[in-house]
Each structure stands twice: as structure tokens, then as C-alpha cells.
Amino acid sequence: MTNLENMGALAKSAARTLRIEDSSVKTEALELIASALLQKKADILTANALDVEAAKGSLSPSMIDRLSLSEERIESMADAVIAVSSGPILWVRFWKNEFFQTVFTYRRLPFPLVSAASSSKLVPT
């Protein structure tokens, strides 16, 4: 198992655990993530510079820009994590057409993420 696959397996395990925890545990975990992003900003920027350098020549300039991090982008990520941790949870209905049928699914999403959901109907909980 590669390091990336291992991190994915750990993330799946954590998601299962957090699914059954109460909201205070989830909020604390998200606050720790935001704090770690800010504390490790220099390490993240150093690793990102290596990734960007390795990607030059194989990715378009717009993709390089999307890959590139700055202090401001990391701070924005931390702010977004805090926003997710403190926002209300909404039920969001997604739909799509499959084989001439409309298929509906419902997901619980933190309110700040709802604006990113397309073709959705908001149902507050």
C-alpha cells in the first residue's frame, strides 16, 4: 500500500468514526485541522514548492496556478474549515437523470458547502 493509499484508508476510518460522534467532537476535530494548517504553513509551502517545480512542463499554467499555494490560500483553507465547523447542517437533495429516470439522493452538508452544490433543493434540519 502506498503512502497515499494509506492516508486514504486512514481518512475513511476517521470518517466512519466521526459519523457516529456528536457535533462537539466533529467541531473540535475541524478546529484542530484548521490550527494544524496554520501551524504547519511553512512546511506546507515548502512541500508545495517542490510539487509545483516537479509539475512545470507537464501541466498548463492554469493548472500550475491551481496547484500553487500561498500563505493567503492556506489561511483561506483554515478559515473555510472553521466556517464548516461552526455552520448549520442542511439536508440537500441532489438529482440526476439515469436511464430516463430521475434519481434523488439526500446528503447532510454544512451550510458553507451548500452554495457549491448545483441543482439542489435546500431542506433545513
3-state secondary structure string, the chain? Answer: CCHHHHHHHHHHHHHHHHHHCCHHHHHHHHHHHHHHHHHCHHHHHHHHHHHHHHHECCECHHHHHHHCCCHHHHHHHHHHHHHHHHCCEEEEEEEEEECCEEEEEEEEEEHHHHCCCCCEEEEEC
- pLDDT by residue (tens digit) across 66-119? 999 999 999 988 988 887 777 666 666 666 666 666 666 666 665 554 444 443
Under the banding of pLDDT at 50, 70 and 90, the label for residue 52 is very high
pTM for this prediction: 0.61
